Structure 1
Amino acid sequence: MADKEPIRVVICGKSEEVGRGIIAGLQPEVEGKPIHSMTHTVSQQLLLRREILRTLSQGENTDSPARASPTLVIHFGLSPAALAAELPAVLAGRAPASASSGLGTGNYQEEEGGRPRRPRAVVFGGAWDGADVETVRAAVRGCGGEGDGVVMLRHDGRKPSPPLGPAYGPHVVQRVKDVLGRLVRGEEVEWAGEGVVWY
């Protein structure tokens, strides 16, 4: 069976120390397939779910649907404002002129056929609120077609989490993987707003 190709993501976190652990937990060996953000209406969700399943089934064995695609962190931003400034270049397949962090693979180069290796999701750490997420969403929307299909994953503070420490990173990694897996498989997720999903 062919391994599933990873979903490229960007992380917005307040601490590189925590970010390193989360990136290590998400990091696979190769790069690949996109996910698509789903919208709020039932008919649009059904159409997008079909498209997700069709896209994911092309050229790979899908006899293990519960297995999530691995994740590849290509960029890490240390604040919503910094990430909003960096994302236009990242979405266009280029390194930002000035990066707030050196974490992530930094692999922005183009795939065969000249298409950028765009991230399909932006994952926000627990330090960021709805206004912070909207700052980054506005930057993604400002990228036009290059921002299409990029979903925001917002930390859900209502769910219990361990305190910052050794158990925190693995806990966050599992929550992110679970939500990305549900998006890829077209399963239900909890929406925090348009284009934003709780994890």
Structure 2
Amino acid sequence: MTPESGATQIPALLRGETNVSSDSDLGSRDYSRGVRAIILGGGYNDQDTKILRDAAQGIKPVPWLRPDLSKPTPPLGPQYGEAMVERIKETLKGLQDSGKMEEDGIFYY
């Protein structure tokens, strides 16, 4: 997803809309459970993140997760994906345990 399309799609999802068009075939597109967090991959830089957050400002407070690029990772491939999923799960659990799942902010995984 491009930052420009995300700037349209993410606010719609945060408002609870369930019929949101996508420029990607990824994911289930089952938006019925709502949004609890926004998880960005390493392809989104600071400016991209700002575009997305500015578009969603004031709609619904959720944590925004970004990868900590200073942490070592396996090379791209299945092990990379597994490592990133584990880091995301750990970060979400930490946010849940600390009561920050309904807090707007950027958190690194």
Same fold (TM over 0.5): yes
In structure 1, list runs of 5 or more residues that go unmatched. 1-77, 110-116, 189-193
The one-letter code sitting in structure 1 at the alignment partner of 2:14 is L
Relative to the length of structure 2, the TM-score reads 0.84
Q: Which residue of 1 aligns with 2:63?
A: 151
Spell out the pairing of 1:33-182 with structure 2 (5 A cutoff).
Answer: 78-94=1-17, 95-96=19-20, 98-109=21-32, 117-141=33-57, 144=58, 147-182=59-94
| Percent of aligned pairs sharing the same letter | 38
Residues 1:197 and 2:91 aligned together: no
- Residue 78 of structure 2 aligns to a residue whose secondary structure is coil
Relative to the length of structure 1, the TM-score reads 0.48
User: Aligned partners of 1:105 and 1:165: how far apart in 2?
Assistant: 22
Question: How many residues get paired?
Answer: 105
Two-structure CA RMSD over aligned residues (Å):
2.0
Report which of the two structures shows the higher radius of gyration computed on alpha carbons.
1
Structure with bigger strand share is: 1
1:121 deviates by 0.9
1:187 deviates by 7.8
- Residue 81 of structure 2 aligns to a residue whose secondary structure is helix
**Which segment is superposed worse, 81-90 or 156-165?**
81-90
